[in-house]
Structure 1
Amino acid sequence: MSQSCEWCDSTNINEISDSVYWELPDGTRAIEITDTPAVSCSECAMIYQKEATVKGIEDQLYLIDCKQIGKTITYQELMNIPRLLKKNYFDFSS
């Protein structure tokens, strides 16, 4: 099954790595997350993260001690930080 752009439905997309900026759950500051998996569409020029990537980042930020994160962190470094809880008990979507 071929994937298509979530914005324009074009199949002319590529998986890339990109930087994203994320507000911490406590609202105290924002961080840059580099090398984040993303999708780039050649038709509409949109660059975005898949829903699973967004959910993974949000869950991880809720489940770790964010004080140990500097202004910038790579996606893989963020996802490798040990969690304080096993799951996001504030997520009622699943």
Structure 2
Amino acid sequence: MSNSSIVVCEWCQETQAKVIKTSVFWELPDGNRAIEITNTPSIECQGCDMLYQQEETVNEIEDQLLLIDTNVLADEVTYDDLMKVPRKLKRNYFRY
């Protein structure tokens, strides 16, 4: 996703949405804490005021957090740096 490209909003179906990067807060799989993930690819719709992440991005974050040692993560990490953390497993074998 390129920054500021126009997309169709998944909520209102209008073409007033654009790709941006924003901060999201995510609970770690063990439930012990949450982290802030900055510069996360997101969609912002001017038509319905929704701010959300596409399913592909959500799945990437959830898989990565499941497959890495989350103890090495600071309370704040960029999306790109999160995706660069070495995985303990190659893939999420529970996602079909």
| Interval of TM-score (by shorter of Structure 1 and Structure 2) | over 0.9
Determine the structure 1 residue equivalent to 2:9: 5
2:7/2:19 contact within 8 Å kept: no
Distance 1:77 1:46 in 2: 26
Distance 2:14 2:49 in 1: 11
RMSD of aligned C-alpha atoms?
1.1
SS of structure 1 residue aligned to 2:66: helix
Q: Equivalent residue for 2:76?
A: 72
What SS does the corresponding residue of 1:70 show, helix, strand or coil?
coil
Alignment pair present for 1:63 and 2:72: no
2:38 — aligned with what? 34
Distance in 2 separating the partners of 1:41 and 1:3: 9
1:3-42 CA distance string (max 9 Å, x none)? 4111111111110000000000000000000000001101
Equivalent runs, 1:42-57 vs 2, <5 Å: 42-57=46-61
For residues 81 and 8 of structure 2, the distance between their equivalents in structure 1, rounded to whole angstroms, comes to: 29
CA distance in 2, matches of 1:14, 1:3: 6
Structure 1 consecutive aligned stretches of length 4 or more whose deviation exceeds 4 Å: none
* Contiguous gaps of at least 5 residues in structure 1: none
Letter of the aligned partner of 1:19 in structure 2?
S
SS class of match (1:58): helix
Unaligned runs of 5+ in 2: 1-5
Corresponding residue for residue 20 of structure 1: 24
Aligned counterparts of 1:28 and 1:89: Cα–Cα separation in 2: 23
TM superposition score normalised by structure 2: 0.91
CA distance in 2, matches of 1:69, 1:87: 19
Percentage of identical aligned residues: 54
